[in-house]
Amino acid sequence: MKLSQRLMIGKATVSIVWLLIVASVIEPSQVPFPYVFQGVGVFLVVSHIIEIIVFKQRMRGPRDYLLTMLFGSLQLRMIRASVSNSTG
């Protein structure tokens, strides 16, 4: 499987997790184990902020900041792949 396909599957999975996190905050009774998803949400926010700080030089604009906040290292891999494709 190509790297871009794996990244898209990963992004789809992370999107589903984010939807469950938001649902657990808005309506905890509708999500199984809402405190687990809320904890995962806190972890993702903190870890993605750290990634943005560490990899600030790779960011090309506001879109990269937003997508890194949502997808973390998956977006950083997409940035790295697009940079290596355009230079090499």
pLDDT digits (tens, 9 = 90+) for 1-27: 888 899 899 999 999 999 999 999 999
DSSP state of 29: G
* CA dist., res. 36 & res. 7, Å (int): 25
Instruction: Read off the tokens for 54.
Output: 């560490």
User: 3-state SS of the chain: helix, strand, coil percent to 5?
Assistant: 85, 0, 15
* Cβ-Cβ contacts under 8 Å for 7 (sequence gap 6 or more): 74, 77, 78
| pTM, 2 dp | 0.83
Which pair of tokens denotes residue 86? 């355009």
* Residues 29-78: tens digit of each pLDDT: 999 999 999 999 999 999 999 999 999 998 889 999 999 999 998 888 88
Closest residue by Cα to residue 36 from 47, 48, 24, 19: 24
Q: How many CA atoms lie within 13 A of 24 on its CB side?
A: 18
